[in-house]
Amino acid sequence: MLRINRDKCGYCGTCVAVCPEDALELIDVYLSLERECIACGICARACPLGALEVIHEE
Amino acid sequence: MKNNYDILIIGGGPAGALAAKTAAEAGNTVCLIEKRAAIGTPVRCAEGIGKELLKEFIKPDPRWIAADIERARIISPNGTAISLEQDRAGNEVGYVLDRKIFDRELVWQAAEAGADVIVKTRATAPIMENGAVRGAKVLSVGIPADIRAEVVIAADGTEAQFARRAGLDTVVPLREMMSCAQYLMTDIDIDAGSTDFYLGNEIAPEGYLWVFPKGNRTANVGIGISGRKSRDGSRAKDYLDRFVAKNFPNGKTIEAIAGGVPVCRPLACTVADGLMVAGDAARVVDPITGGGIGNAMYTGRLAAQVASKCIAAGDCSKEALMPYDAEWRASKMGTVLERNYKVKEYFVTLDDAKLNTLAESIAQSSLKEFSVLGLIKELIKRNPKLLLELKALKDTLS
């Protein structure tokens, strides 16, 4: 699953542009997980501020 | 809010504003929607643009020019500086804008030309009929509505979603997404007349760090690194913090922003039935400099010109809109984008030692032309021993 740290997020949309599943949406100044995330981690790598974290559940 | 227009434009940045102004001046009914509450904010840009390029679209105005730049310096990993003065600087030096005021002025002009402008309104989905875009479903201050249009121009920036939801592939590959962070800093020792570009894998892997003056002792200090080089502890912000701690330890940060700059090739196709894509959403950002303001204005204006003709002719199919795609690709902008993409692909392979060698080879040169092209020609001329290695670069010139 994807965890968004809203304290770190800069609402810049970088993650949205690289998400291959169109799972993220930037609504005004609010980043939202709108669709099914496949936990690929691409958004977390692209984030300039380290606001996204993929957690693989056991 | 009206529900029917000739042209609906999504996004109030430079691409959307020029599209709206051009379309309204051509006599169309035009609606521009912006998802944020105010045009021009928050800024997500280093704010630099070449003087001549800017003048193609708008008369320079001190109200939104923060700094008039006299020279640019490229600083290699070991500190070797290539200084390029204004008389030879071409498009790579110019103005540093105040985008908050600049963007507002562009949209203001669009409104004066007759376009409706609606803020805090975001497109949630395209209205599709028989595979063609016929407008957008929107949320305007939280209230859902449909806005129908003959043509939709998607100018929704890096995080573009409208075109993607209409069926175009707009995903930026991770390695070609520049992960960027920037501080607006004050009380720092800078050369107020110089835009400085710092290169090196220790400083900004596969990207560069910039110091763009915004007046005396004030500058945009920012960085872009390749998304594939970004990881915990080595993110754009981490590199920037290290640079700032070393170079501007007593500076004050009055604004901190982040963003992504796509340095991939432009979209494979920027039109579909009833749809055109412009600006960063079309990925028409210079892959070397990351500059996109001028290209956004150019594609926004061109999209509106072509859309106006198609509306007048009663045909807004993909085929009818194709001259937009063909024209920008054949333009100077299109050819420079393709060439600079190849140049970028070469430069990201260089290690710091090679960057130092190249910089040292031309540090004392008097460049006749300060442009990416001029710089490449000089590098090739000054490095005959590296000719085989520079062949790939040379080939980009042909």
Q: What is the mean pLDDT of chain B?
A: 92
Residue B88 in domain: yes
Q: In what order do the strands lie in the sheet with B177-186?
A: B81-85, B71-75, B194-198, B208-213, B218-226, B177-186, B252-262
In this prediction, residue B234 carries a pLDDT of 96
In this prediction, residue A30 carries a pLDDT of 78
Q: Is B283 found in the same domain as B134?
A: yes
- Contact in structure between B220 and B95 (CB atoms under 8 Å): no
Sign of CA dihedral B170, B171, B172, B173: negative
The residues near B172 (Cβ < 8 Å, ≥ 6 apart) are A17, A18, B158, B260, B262, B264, B283
- Contact in structure between B31 and B123 (CB atoms under 8 Å): no
Residues B218-258 pLDDT 10s: 999 999 999 999 999 999 999 999 999 999 999 999 999 99
Position B379 confidence tier, pLDDT thresholds 50, 70, 90: confident
Q: Is B191 found in the same domain as B84?
A: yes
Query: CATH number for the domain including B61?
Result: 3.30.9.10
Q: Is B203 found in the same domain as B187?
A: yes
In this prediction, residue B384 carries a pLDDT of 72
Position B374 confidence tier, pLDDT thresholds 50, 70, 90: confident
Q: DSSP label at B231?
A: B
Q: Is B164 found in the same domain as B104?
A: yes
Enumerate the H helices of chain B as residue ranges: 14-25, 51-55, 99-112, 162-165, 236-247, 293-313, 318-330, 332-347, 352-362, 372-382, 391-395
Q: Is B393 found in the same domain as B250?
A: yes
Q: Is B179 found in the same domain as B168?
A: no
Residue B246 in domain: yes
Residues B143-179 pLDDT 10s: 999 999 999 999 999 998 999 999 999 999 999 999 9
Residue B49 in domain: no
In this prediction, residue A31 carries a pLDDT of 83
Residue B154 in domain: yes
The residue among B296, B312, B330 that closes a domain is B330
Q: Which of A17, A20, A42 is nearest residue B159 as measured by Cβ atoms?
A: A17
Q: Is B315 found in the same domain as B168?
A: yes
Direct distance between the N- and C-terminal alpha carbons of chain B, in angstroms, rounded to an integer: 52
Query: CATH number for the domain including B10?
Result: 3.50.50.60
Q: Cα(B374)–Cα(B242) distance, rounded to whole angstroms?
A: 32
Q: Cα(B381)–Cα(B225) distance, rounded to whole angstroms?
A: 29
Higher pLDDT residue, B22 or B376? B22
Residue that has been written with the tokens 């061109």 in this structure: B302
In this prediction, residue B42 carries a pLDDT of 85
The residue among B330, B353, B372 that closes a domain is B330
The proportion of chain B whose per-residue pLDDT surpasses 90, expressed as a percent, equals 80
- From A36's Cα to the closest Cα of chain B, the distance in A is 15
In this prediction, residue B398 carries a pLDDT of 61
In this prediction, residue B16 carries a pLDDT of 98
Residue that has been written with the tokens 């996004």 in this structure: B11
Q: DSSP label at B331?
A: S
Residue B285 in domain: yes
Enumerate the H helices of B78-174 as residue ranges: 99-112, 162-165
8 Å CB contact of B258 and A48: yes
The predicted model gives A17-34 an average pLDDT of 86
> Whole-model pTM above 0.90?
yes
Q: In what order do the strands lie in the sheet with B48-50?
A: B48-50, B94-97, B65-68
The proportion of chain B whose per-residue pLDDT surpasses 70, expressed as a percent, equals 94
Q: Per mean pLDDT, which range of B6-20, B354-368, B374-388 is the poorest?
A: B374-388
In this prediction, residue B375 carries a pLDDT of 76
Q: Which of A14, A20, A48 is nearest residue B171 as measured by Cβ atoms?
A: A20
Residues B328-356 pLDDT 10s: 999 999 999 999 999 899 889 889 998 99
8 Å CB contact of A12 and B44: yes
Q: Is B384 found in the same domain as B346?
A: yes
Question: Cα–Cα–Cα angle for B18, B34, B23, nearest 5°?
Answer: 30
- Domain of residue B206 covers 54-96+173-263+336-398
Q: Is B224 found in the same domain as B207?
A: yes
Count of structural domains within chain B:
2
In this prediction, residue B190 carries a pLDDT of 96
Residues B22-62 pLDDT 10s: 999 999 999 999 999 999 888 888 899 999 899 999 999 99
Q: Is B283 found in the same domain as B374?
A: no
Q: Is B285 found in the same domain as B253?
A: no
The residue among B330, B362, B386 that closes a domain is B330
* Closest of B266, B259, B258 to residue B287, by C-alpha: B266
**Which residues are bridge partners to B94 per DSSP?**
B50
Q: Which of B42, B165, B177 is nearest residue A14 as measured by Cβ atoms?
A: B177
R_g of chain B, CA atoms, integer Å: 21
Crossing angle of the two packed helices B332-347 and B372-382, in degrees rounded to 10: 40
What amino acid occupies position B288? I
Residues B67-114 pLDDT 10s: 999 888 999 999 999 888 766 655 556 899 999 999 999 999 999 999
| Chain A residues in contact with chain B using a Cβ-Cβ cutoff of 8 Å | 10-14, 16-20, 22, 25-29, 42, 45-50
8 Å CB contact of B172 and A18: yes
Residue B160 in domain: yes
Q: DSSP label at B92?
A: G
Q: Cα(B188)–Cα(B190) distance, rounded to whole angstroms?
A: 6
In this prediction, residue B364 carries a pLDDT of 74
Residue B223 in domain: yes
Residue B48 in domain: no
Q: Is B37 found in the same domain as B108?
A: yes
- On the question of pLDDT at B366 being above 90, the answer is no
Q: Cα(B157)–Cα(B299) distance, rounded to whole angstroms?
A: 13
Position A35 confidence tier, pLDDT thresholds 50, 70, 90: confident
